[in-house]
């Protein structure tokens, strides 16, 4: 059976959980934290989560895992069949990862983890996020899902990256980031109402305080 390693507060872990659930796949979750220990590096060369363990071995990197799931389990597709539409979905995935999630993540220490963000980082992140937001707005269909009528992998990456980026933007720049992407708030609400998303949210909320206390050194 597929095994997914990670922890409930991890947004990347939850993106993959949503995809596994949408595909109706049986899988086991194994609670694992990022680590630079040798054992873990055997599974995850960068020491990160999530990791998907398959009969053929382990895979890390969320977008790669999403591609693998699509190729290995094509029933209940999470990418369009048409090559161009599929590439557009992948384009959106890259935009969300590179220009929304990763820049926002640079400010997690000051926004969520009780640290202080350096002024230079604050200055650097904003223009990247602005471009990312512009690109999501331009490339997104929001009809009603991010790429059109069908739910795709991009919806799951969006729901667990736009929400965090919005939190970062609000606290750092007093910027309502979602308001700059018409349809985004409604999309997050629609996705968040699903049964799997609700289960994930309940687990995340239950573990958030302990997680924050740990990263804040408490």
Ligand X SMILES: N[C@@H](CCC(=O)N[C@@H](CS)C(=O)NCC(=O)O)C(=O)O
CB of 20 to ligand X, least distance (A): 14
Cα-flanking dihedrals φ and ψ of residue 49, to 5°?
A: -120, 155
If the CB atoms of residues 34 and 80 are measured against ligand X, the closer one turns out to be 34
From 4, 8, 18, 49, residue interacting with ligand X (rule: CB under 6 A): 49
Ramachandran angles phi, psi of 5, nearest 5°: -100, 135
Partners of residue 6 on adjacent β-strands: 31
From 3, 21, 27, 48, residue interacting with ligand X (rule: CB under 6 A): 48
Stretch that binds ligand X, among 5-13, 111-119, 154-162, 209-217 (CB under 6 A): 5-13
In the complex, minimum distance from the CB of residue 7 to ligand X, in angstroms, rounded to a whole number: 8
- Binding of ligand X by 163 (CB under 6 A): no
Nearer to ligand X by C-beta: 48 or 86?
Answer: 48
Which of the residues 8 through 47 are near ligand X (CB under 6 A)? 10-12, 34, 47
- How many residues touch ligand X under the rule CB under 6 A: the total is 10
Nearer to ligand X, 66 or 177 (CB): 66
* Distance set, CA 163 to CA 101, 104, 167, 175, 192 (Å): 9, 10, 6, 13, 11
d(CA 2, CA 89): 25
CB of 108 to ligand X, least distance (A): 9
Specify the residue, 161 or 172, whose C-beta has the smaller distance to ligand X: 161
**Which candidate, 141, 73, 61, 149, places its Cα nearest to that of 101?**
61
Which residue's structure tokens are 């991010």?
Answer: 146
Q: Pick out residues in 56-75 that bind ligand X (CB under 6 A).
A: 61-62
Q: Are 69 and 23 in contact (CB under 8 A)?
A: yes
Task: Please measure the distance between the N-terminal and C-terminal CA atoms of the chain and give it in whole angstroms.
Answer: 37
Rounded to a whole number of angstroms, the minimum distance from the CB of residue 102 to ligand X is: 8
Edge-to-edge order in the sheet of strand 51-54: 27-31, 2-6, 51-54, 57-60
Residues that bind ligand X (CB under 6 A): 10-12, 34, 47-50, 61-62
């Amino acid at each position: 059976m597929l095994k997914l390693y990670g922890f409930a507060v991890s947004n990347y872990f939850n993106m993959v959980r949503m995809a596994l659930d949408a595909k109706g796949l049986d899988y086991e979750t194994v609670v694992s934290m990022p680590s630079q220990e040798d054992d873990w590096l055997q599974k995850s060369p960068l020491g990160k989560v999530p990791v998907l363990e398959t009969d053929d071995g382990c895979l890390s990197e969320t977008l790669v895992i999403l591609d693998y799931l699509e190729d290995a389990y094509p029933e209940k597709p999470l990418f369009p069949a048409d090559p161009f539409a599929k590439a557009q979905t992948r384009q959106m995935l890259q935009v969300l990862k590179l220009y929304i999630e990763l820049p926002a993540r640079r400010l997690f220490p000051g926004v969520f983890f009780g640290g202080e963000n350096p002024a230079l980082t604050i200055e650097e992140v904003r223009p990247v996020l602005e471009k990312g937001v512009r690109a999501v707005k331009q490339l997104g269909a929001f009809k009603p899902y991010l790429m059109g009528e069908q739910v795709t992998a991009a919806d799951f990456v969006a729901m667990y990256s736009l929400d965090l980026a919005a939190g970062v933007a609000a606290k750092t720049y007093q910027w309502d980031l979602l308001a700059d992407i018409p349809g985004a708030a409604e999309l997050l609400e629609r996705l968040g109402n699903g049964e799997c998303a609700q289960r994930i949210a309940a687990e995340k909320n239950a573990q958030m305080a302990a997680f924050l206390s740990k990263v804040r050194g408490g």
